[in-house]
Amino acid sequence: MRWNGAPLSGSAQLPASKSESNRALIIRALAGAGQLDNLSDANDTELMQRLLAEPATTATLNAEDAGTVMRFLTAYLAVTGRQVLLTGTARMRQRPIGVLVDALRQLGAQIEYTEQEGYPPLQLQGWNPALTAQEPAELSVRGDISSQYISALMMVGPQLPGGLRLRLTGKVGSRPYIRMTQSLMQHFGGQCRDLGEIIEVRLQAYQPADYTIESDWSAASYWYAMVALAPAGSSITLPGLRRHSWQGDQAIVAIMDQLGVATEFDEQGVILTQKARAAAVEQDFTDCPDLAQTVAVVAAAVGVPLVLTGLESLRIKETDRIAALQAELSKFGGALVDEGDGRFRVPVAPFTVQGQTIETYHDHRMAMAFAPLALRGPLTILAPTVVRKSYPQFWKELGKAGFDIIEQA
């Protein structure tokens, strides 16, 4: 793929938020009804819909490579008493789920590991809650691995005999996703309070409700990257984004403001334009880990020194994203330097785009984080269909914007 040389302009269509969509689907299933508009067309969301629609007699459900599907469905299937094998891809079977399974077992779920202890596949064998009192079930859950465990437990909390009281221990990552879960629960009538270290979910049945999913801020981050790397005078409009968003990845607004992209909100969404860059950037990605790849690539390409912290969860994503970033940035002369104590640095170094080939490691975000570099020179992206996980129309939208994309056999 390569760029036509002109300033970037026009409008790009974003997918709906996968994070909102998958949470809303679980909560609607527990509520029993409700109209969801603008659901994501991402593979993860379509997969969630299919699996939720499977009859109770289905013996095996395959979450493929979808983290939210695996974790949210584990909790949903447990409290609804399903007896089923929940499995996934080879990579999914390497992603830990012990924290969630341990918590669900304490609540009454009967779950066994069929291969490696602490990892999928899981054999769910029914629900036998020992809790009958009206006091909430109390659990302590680590918050430093994945907020998806916490969100999964929160969403099924109203189904428990006395509700749920979660004590979060350690550093809690991706807290905006917890707040998103709380907001969607409340939209469907759930009672949930975030007290910092404590999250309280009261016994209160969900009520059917309608909801329109917002466009995806994670997907928007790739267009921010394109404006940052595009010729002078470039601008792009992204419809469907809200100024007051439940999505943590709206943090891209403030981050990219330092890397040369200004954001203007209007009634339709946002307009991105170019501006001066900061001399250096330091960013904690604890609450927005899915932005780290995009920001690291942009910083390396434009020559702005960047310090990154809060990357702990990147090791257990679709791939080891830290190792993948280090390998692919090095092809251009860039680097992601591990300085220890959870601190990483993208130094200023000569950075040249001249026909390199990008490995994507079965990771949609690797493909989309590196694709904007085609604005600086020709580039080849391997396994481009990986973007179906979250942004199926990504390459189509790039073509509409002016990229020359040739699919190789």
Name the active-site residue from 65, 249, 287, 290: 290
For 142-181, the pLDDT digits (tens) are: 877 778 999 999 999 999 988 999 999 988 877 899 999 9
For 52-96, the pLDDT digits (tens) are: 999 999 999 999 999 999 999 999 999 999 999 999 999 999 999
Q: Final residue of a domain: which of 212, 229, 244? A: 212
Range of the domain at 375: 2-16+216-404
For 281-316, the pLDDT digits (tens) are: 999 999 899 999 999 999 999 999 999 999 988 887
Q: Locate 276 and state its tokens.
A: 């001066």
Binding residues for phosphoenolpyruvate: 18, 67, 95, 148, 321, 365, 389
Nearest CA among 272, 373, 361 for reference residue 321 = 361
For 255-283, the pLDDT digits (tens) are: 999 999 999 999 999 999 999 999 999 99
Same domain, 45 and 170: yes
Task: Kindly give, in sequence order, each residue whose CB lies less than 8 Å from that of residue 384, ignoring residues fewer than 6 positions away.
Answer: 360, 367, 395, 407
Cis peptide before 121 (omega within 30 of 0): yes
Task: Tell me the sheet residues that pair with 331.
Answer: none
Same domain, 207 and 223: no
Write the CATH number for 399.
3.65.10.10
Binding residues: 18-19, 23, 67, 95, 146-148, 174, 290, 317, 321, 365, 389
**Quick check: is 290 catalytic?**
yes
Q: What is the pTM of this model?
A: 0.88
What is the number of domains present in the chain?
2
Cα torsion angle, 247, 185, 73, 211, sign: negative
Q: Locate 47 and state its tokens.
A: 């997969």
Task: Tell me the sheet residues that pair with 343.
Answer: 340
Binding residues for 3-phosphoshikimate: 18-19, 23, 146-148, 174, 290, 317
Same domain, 31 and 10: no
Same domain, 242 and 372: yes
Same domain, 177 and 297: no
Question: In angstroms, rounded to a whole number, what is the distance separating the alpha carbons of residues 167 and 143?
Answer: 9
Residues in the chain: 409
Give the count of beta carbons closer than 10 Å to the beta carbon of residue 272: 25
Residue type, 28: R
The pLDDT value recorded for residue 316 is: 75
Checking DSSP bridges between strand 306-309 and strand 281-284, what pairing results, if any? parallel
Same domain, 148 and 230: no
Contact between 31 and 208 under an 8 Å Cβ cutoff? The reply is: yes
The pLDDT value recorded for residue 130 is: 61
Same domain, 158 and 35: yes
The answer to whether residue 409 sits within a structural domain is no
Tokens 């969301």 locate to 45
Q: Locate 79 and state its tokens.
A: 């409290």
The answer to whether residue 221 sits within a structural domain is yes
Give start and end residues of each alpha helix (H) in 126-251: 147-156, 175-187, 217-229
Contact between 364 and 91 under an 8 Å Cβ cutoff? The reply is: no
